[in-house]
Amino acid sequence: MLLEGRVWRFGDNVDTDQIIPARYLNMVDPAELARHCMEDADATFAGKVQPGDILVAGKNFGCGSSREHAPVCLKAAGVSLVIAVSFARIFYRNAINIGLPILECREAGRIAEGDRLEADLGAGTIRNRRAGEDYRAIPFPAFMQEVIRAGGLVPFIREELKRGKAGG
């Protein structure tokens, strides 16, 4: 699975309140959530992010509460991939569940805002076209790539049931 996009850069410990502030958690429409994406970290982000863009952060991205709204709003805003040095475990799982690709990359700190990246989820490779550098990330196992490709865990299970592959 190959992804390409422009980078938006954030630092360490970006919590779920920065990704989608609690005051918007009564919203369920992903498009509404997207209008407030990253609002408390960068009030202009939602108005500038374009479909296919990539968010890059430091350590512990998605820490804080376990709200699924956080990866939902990122995906709805058009973010195609989140790359971070590390993720909070519950955010990592929620991202996979809703079909938002994420990559852990120790070298994420070398990536700057505005860079253009190409990422191969299966190989765990990231190419920085502006800097001419390559980085290694933890690749997605084939099963997780299938879940992402399906759009999340629920659509994946539905597809499996239609094919007669899932128990139930």
Token pair listed for 73: 């709003």
pLDDT at 134 over 80: yes
What are the tens digits of pLDDT across the range 66-100? 889 999 999 999 999 999 999 999 999 999 999 99
pTM over 0.85: yes
Lowest mean pLDDT, pick from 23-32, 83-92, 144-153, 157-166: 157-166
Q: What is the three-class DSSP state of 117?
A: strand
pLDDT at 167 (0 to 100): 58
Sort 9 into a burial class: Cβ within 10 Å, 0-12 / 13-18 / 19+: middle
